[in-house]
Amino acid sequence: MDIENAKPEAEIEEREESEGKRKWIALASILGLTIIIAGVLDLSVKGIPLGFTLPIINEPATIATIIYHASVLGAGLYIGYIGIRELVVERRFSVEFLMAVAGLGALYLDFLFEAATVLFLYSLAEYFEGYIEDRARKTVEKLSGFMPDKARAMIGGAEKNVDIKEIQTGTIILVKPGERIPLDGTVIEGFSHVDQALVTGESLPLLRKMGDTVYAGTLSTNGVIKIVVTKQADETLVSRIVKLVVESRKRKASVEKLVDKFAKVYVPIVITLAVFTAVALPALVGGTFQMWLYRSLILLVVSCPSAFIVSVPATIFTAITVAARRGVIIKGGIYVEKLAKVKTVIFDKTGTLTYGRPALKDILCGPGFDEAEILAYAAGLEQDSRHPLAQAVLNAAKARQIKSLVPTEVTEKPGKGISGTIGGHRVQITGRDSLKSKTGADIQLPPISSGLECVVLVNDRFAALLRFHDEPRYESSSFIRHLQPFHQAKEVVLLSGDRLAEVEHLAKSVGIEQIHAGKTPEEKLKLVQEVTGKERTLFVGDGINDAPAMLAATASVALGGQNSDVVAEAADAVVLDSSLRRVDELIHIARRTRAIALQSAVGGMVLSAVGMGLAAFGFLPALAGAVSQEVIDLAAVLNALRITLPQADMSDF
């Protein structure tokens, strides 16, 4: 599939939701201005009397009254239309229906301020819900930024820039150092270390030579290579990732919203009670129809579920603010609740539990050499090298305060290593395979282990073997080991596209028993779907190749979202500073938020139910009913603010 045309259906849906979002913010703005302007006029100049009586409602005309009636009627009728449409088409009472009846009912009872406030809060909540969905839909659009638009095609022996959509399989393309590979293919000439972390999750750049497969979107770091194209633009690995992202997002967007589940039960009950109060109670208890109609409208005002609709978003938005202050961005309320209930945690390896960069871990010296001497030689030789492992050598020398020696006659060939003269000694850094082909005989070396390695020769003698590993985060082990006792995690899984030896090495060092290595994005997605089908999952990752798996998990967190806009958009939450401690804080915030939101919602509903009973039998006057509903709402919001109370440390590892 073409990246730029990946989701025509999603684009139509996006336009519709964008239009709906604009309508909700327009309604909220109008109602908000109404509350401010009309409220100030009522308090300061008695609404500015106009000297005549309004028809139909038979009340003295004031500018404030006209503003209230125009705004509330317009908003109430629009929201009511949505509710009636759902009633006719989907045959169910919705929150929109109840909110419209409650707002218009409050207007009928002359509670103008309360009517405008109820509809304002609801419109604002709907806008924020649409905003969150709109942000999530921009995931695929970000992918195009990582893909070259043109490729250097070799046509008739000459180099020509061609649009990647026009290139067919079998075409030979040229890629220079520092350029991203435009299409999937096979190397037919040259060598280069290719950084595949963006696509496959490989922690270290890999040497790609003749016969090796390379992927679109990966970065050629230090060599010129010619590639024969094997996949067209709409068939590349990145294009398949796009398709997976679109499909996964669609599945997640189809999850039924919590408010609608609540409305299916609550709204029909409230409407039935209101109708029963107005129609049946006059005959059963006595009294005029007008009196019981008046009480039924009070019941609707009191029963308005704003304690639920307002307190839950207020609690969640407050939690999102608290998290943001700690460097964690949460995409929306639904993800807060999901984060609070996860039981299985799935980790990517590269850049998540590791720093995503090689570190020199072992120096195995040959007879007559010591580590300091070897490191001085290696750092001197590597100080101007562009090899991905050169910086790891220099960092190790710096950490041990070893000064680099000055080399002369330095030569470096891709795939062959680097050599030079230092202090009259011929020093060479190369690999096992290159060493064997150069000498024509086996040199006794330490056994092959996990990670990457380099061989150091001094005057053609074996001097040392340097071993490198993707460096684990300093907090990975303690974080992993605390998940079960402190967060009741049932399973902890390590899922990576990296090689088995590397994954096993990391898993052993941080304390993870269940591992899956060498997985493609499609395989990651399938595995996460299987695990999520059995238990609520949290996926923690950092790369584009993690995006489909993130969207398949119950909840997902991206580390260091500034490094990849795509993964930041795919994830439900983003930790900006790539800290696992922040992930722990996020879980604590989510669980505390859910507890407080439930307190506010359930408490508000119980108090509203009591008010409904009092209103139905006339024990609650209209003014007292409206005031009591506002008090319930205020109490719910104040309870939400408990999240902002300072806590010394929200992490427990």
Tens-digit pLDDT profile for residues 242-262: 665 555 444 433 333 555 566
Long-range contacts made by residues 515-524, C-beta under 8 angstroms, separation at least 24? 519/495, 520/200, 520/237, 521/199, 521/237, 521/240, 521/241, 521/244, 521/497, 521/545, 521/546, 521/547, 521/548, 521/549, 522/240, 522/244, 522/548, 524/495, 524/497, 524/548, 524/549
d(CA 123, CA 74): 13
87 & 173 share domain: no
What's the first-to-final CA gap in the chain, in angstroms? Answer: 45
| pLDDT number for residue 427 | 93
Is 404 inside a domain boundary? Answer: yes
Give the strand order in the sheet containing 206-208. 206-208, 192-195, 219-220
Q: Which of 42, 184, 348, 633 is the catalytic position?
A: 348
Say how many domains are in the chain. 4
Is 200 inside a domain boundary? Answer: yes
Is 386 inside a domain boundary? Answer: yes
Is 189 inside a domain boundary? Answer: yes
Structural domain containing residue 427: 356-471
Question: 284 pLDDT exceeds 80?
Answer: yes
435 & 539 share domain: no
Is 91 inside a domain boundary? Answer: yes
360 & 349 share domain: no
Written as six digits, the tokens of 304 are 């308005």
Q: Which of 204, 219, 239 is the last residue of a domain?
A: 239
What CATH number corresponds to the domain at position 222? 2.70.150.10
Q: What is the pLDDT of residues 444-489, one digit of tens each?
A: 788 887 778 899 999 988 999 999 988 888 899 999 999 999 999 9
pLDDT-based confidence at residue 440 (cuts at 50, 70, 90): very low
What CATH number corresponds to the domain at position 367? 3.40.1110.10
Average pLDDT, the chain: 81
| pLDDT number for residue 240 | 66
Q: What is the pLDDT of residues 550-586, one digit of tens each?
A: 889 999 998 875 445 566 677 888 887 778 998 999 9
On the 0-12 / 13-18 / 19+ scale of CB atoms within 10 A, 15 is exposed
With CA atoms as reference, report the closest residue to 154 among 69, 227, 57: 227
Written as six digits, the tokens of 266 are 């609550």
| pLDDT number for residue 441 | 47
Question: 442 pLDDT exceeds 90?
Answer: no
Is 429 inside a domain boundary? Answer: yes
13 & 129 share domain: yes
| pLDDT number for residue 74 | 94
For range 512-536, the mean pLDDT: 92
561 & 541 share domain: yes
Other beta carbons within 10 Å of 401: 7
pLDDT-based confidence at residue 190 (cuts at 50, 70, 90): very high
Question: 53 pLDDT exceeds 80?
Answer: yes
Which one of 96-100, 420-424, 496-500 scores highest in mean pLDDT? 420-424
Which string of b and e fits 324-355 if b means at least 16 CB within 10 Å? Answer: eebebbbbbbbbbbbbbebebbbbbbbbbbbb
Antiparallel, parallel or unpaired: β 491-495 and 514-516: parallel
193 & 108 share domain: no
In this prediction the pTM is: 0.61
Is 392 inside a domain boundary? Answer: yes
Question: 237 pLDDT exceeds 80?
Answer: no
By the 8 A CB rule, do 269 and 219 touch?
A: no
Q: Which of 576, 601, 617 is the last residue of a domain?
A: 576
More confident call, 328 vs 349: 349
25 & 60 share domain: yes
With CA atoms as reference, report the closest residue to 537 among 576, 483, 466: 483
| pLDDT number for residue 304 | 64
More confident call, 112 vs 493: 493
What CATH number corresponds to the domain at position 532? 3.40.50.1000
By the 8 A CB rule, do 304 and 629 touch?
A: yes
Q: Which of 471, 490, 514 is the last residue of a domain?
A: 471
Q: What is the pLDDT of residues 105-160, one digit of tens each?
A: 778 878 788 788 878 877 876 776 566 455 545 544 555 566 788 999 998 888 99
| pLDDT number for residue 649 | 63
22 & 91 share domain: yes
30 & 132 share domain: yes
| pLDDT number for residue 55 | 84
105 & 170 share domain: no
| pLDDT number for residue 250 | 47
Whether 649 is catalytic:
no
Other beta carbons within 10 Å of 269: 13
15 & 117 share domain: yes
Is 3 inside a domain boundary? Answer: yes
486 & 338 share domain: yes
For range 337-358, the mean pLDDT: 89
For range 301-326, the mean pLDDT: 69
